[in-house]
Amino acid sequence: MDLNPVILAIPMYFALMGIELVYESISRKKTYRLNDAITNISTGTLQQLTGTFLKIFKIGVYAFIFQHFAFFEIPPDWTSFIILFFLFDLCYYWDHRMAHRISLFWGGHSVHHQSEDYNLSVALRQSSTAMIWGMPFYLPLALIGFDPVQFAVVGGFNLLYQFWIHTEHINKLPPWFEWFFNTPSHHRVHHGRDPKYIDKNYAGVFIIWDRLFGTFQKEEERPHYGITKPLNSWNPVYANFAHYIDLYHDVKKTRSATDALKVLFYPPGWRPDYLGGPQAPTDVPVDYHKYNTRTILQMNLYVFVQFMGALGLSAFYFFKNEDFSDPTKVLFAIWIIISTLMFGFLFESSKRWLIGLEVLRLLVIPAGLWAITSYGVAALPFWFIPLASAFSAFSILAFLYLMQKTDKMVLLKDSI
């Protein structure tokens, strides 16, 4: 298995989210909603899933440039690690800044900003396409001669640092720390959709880049989180494509190739005059409310249990996928995608067609695990498949029972 700090840190992520939830129960400051948190983590699951198929793109391009065009070969030791850690964060700053300033690139990064809450689960809300637009910003490091393995490890630790800054429960830290490092206060600004906060504080680890390049903004009043055009959906697949769909419709309406390219490569919100002109951010309306849907308590509990089960199987896939054949990886990936979609569907709808899809998804669990064991793909404890079979059977009965209560499951789409 590759040394991927992000995958290895999964238990830490959930332990810290658990601590945050416990603290919320004590402080009575609520920053989590079940539907939002599950959608956040589901988009992160899809991002990691995509990564298992695109490793050759993420690291392969970097390694190719390093092997064929590097000016030097820098030994991977602690000194070069520290230097690379700073330089990686500088590259991240420009990658991140352009992801906000180029509309096509924003299609990848906007996923991370869609949540209207701010908690540790938001850190896991990552895009499946951002790597496509971001990779070129790191290739100078390959030309300089930093080892590809060291590059991958440093990138993982850079992302790990950014996890803890997604919280409202840490106010200001000591001034020296706030001046040099990215902190929860600085990053809350970055996630704000208020005009004064938009396109500020791009740094990953070191806020000095924002101070140096004129994009720093200190936190004043509490931000409103999210994007200027709210997603209004719990569908994690749609979340990955929403901005691209908007771009497609805008490009179709343009009258020239030049205007089409401007729509793609000018800042988000740019339109030619005949389509209304550039759309500047506006103040958040005084009657603004977060998007929300409410289902009955039993369905929320059902989705939570199924989500935790799917999360466990997804973690199994992430740790073992290198041992899988390509067809096995594809089938496993399809099941993970359908599961994340299903959770979003159940938060938004009680339509009868969901019954067949959910029953099929549940039946695949023991069948798939049996196939993995029978064909020697992975060894599982003898009791695991009977347990999975019982879980699936019980889940099917519980789900059918809940769907019979559709008259009591009318979704209350409201705002909070």
- pLDDT tens figures, 212-264: 999 999 999 999 999 999 999 999 999 999 999 999 999 999 999 999 999 99
Q: Is 287 among the domain residues?
A: no
Q: State which H helix or E strand residue 414 sits in.
A: strand 412-415
The reply to whether 228 falls in a domain is no
Residue 396 pLDDT more than 50?
yes
The pLDDT value given to residue 243: 97
pLDDT band per the 50, 70, 90 thresholds, residue 415: very low
For the chain, give the percent of residues with pLDDT over 90.
Answer: 78
Domain presence at residue 14? yes
pLDDT tens column, 339-375:
999 999 999 877 788 999 999 999 999 999 999 888 7
20 in the same domain as 67: yes
Model confidence at 69, in pLDDT bands (50, 70, 90)?
very high
Which of 5-19, 57-71, 112-126, 182-196 has the least mean pLDDT? 5-19
pLDDT at 408 over 50: no
Which pLDDT value is given to residue 414?
A: 46
57 Cβ contact partners less than 8 Å away, ≥ 6 residues apart: 131, 132, 135
For the chain, what is the mean pLDDT? 92
Q: What integer pLDDT is reported at residue 299 of this predicted model? A: 92
User: Residue 320 sits in which domain range?
Assistant: 293-409
Quick count: other Cβ atoms within 10 Å of Cβ 170?
A: 12
Kindly state whether residues 188 and 261 are assigned to the same domain. Answer: no
CA–CA distance, 227 with 193 (Å, rounded to integer): 6
pTM summary value:
0.92
CA neighbours closer than 13 Å in the CB half-sphere of residue 183: 20
**Relative orientation angle of helices 326-348 and 297-320, to the nearest 10 degrees:** 160
Return the pLDDT at 349.
77
Q: What three-state secondary structure class fits 380?
A: coil
pLDDT (mean) for 160-176: 96
Residues 46 and 182 in one domain: yes
pLDDT, tens digit, for every residue of 332-346? 999 999 999 999 999
Taking only the tens place, the pLDDT of each residue in 26-35 is: 998 999 999 9
Instruction: Judge whether 282 lies within some domain.
Output: no
Q: At what angle do helices 257-265 and 103-113 cross, to 10 degrees?
A: 30
DSSP state at residue 293: E
Measured between alpha carbons, how far is 35 from 42 in angstroms, rounded to an integer? 11
**Residue 229 within any structural domain of the chain:** no
Secondary structure (3-state) at 222: coil
Domain contains 49: yes
Among candidate residues 159, 184, 170, 111, the one with its CA nearest the CA of residue 9:
159
d(CA 259, CA 266): 10
Say whether both 46 and 121 belong to one domain: yes
Buried b (16+ CB within 10 A) or exposed e, 321-341: beebeeebbebbbebbbbbbb
Q: Give the mean pLDDT of 193-205.
A: 96
Q: Are residues 124 and 260 in the same domain?
A: no
Same domain for 325 and 356? yes
Q: 412 φ, ψ to 5°? A: -95, 90
- Check whether residue 264 and residue 400 sit in a common domain: no
The reply to whether 191 and 243 lie within a common domain is: no
Is residue 1's pLDDT more than 60?
A: no
Residue 361 belongs to a domain: yes
Element (H, E) at 294: strand 291-294
Task: Supply the pLDDT for residue 258.
Answer: 97
Give 408's DSSP letter: G
**Residues 69 and 35 placed together within one structural domain of the fold:** yes
Provide the token pair at 395: 């889940």
**In a shared domain, residues 243 and 164:** no
Pair (59, 147) in one structural domain: yes
Mean pLDDT of 72-96: 96
For residues 313 and 198, membership in a common domain is answered with no
Q: How many CB atoms lie within 10 A of CB 79?
A: 10
Burial class (CB in 10 A: 0-12, 13-18, 19+), 266: middle
Domain membership flag for residue 353: yes
Q: Are 240 and 127 in contact (CB under 8 A)?
A: yes
pLDDT tier at 4, thresholds 50, 70, 90: low
State the total domains in the chain: 3
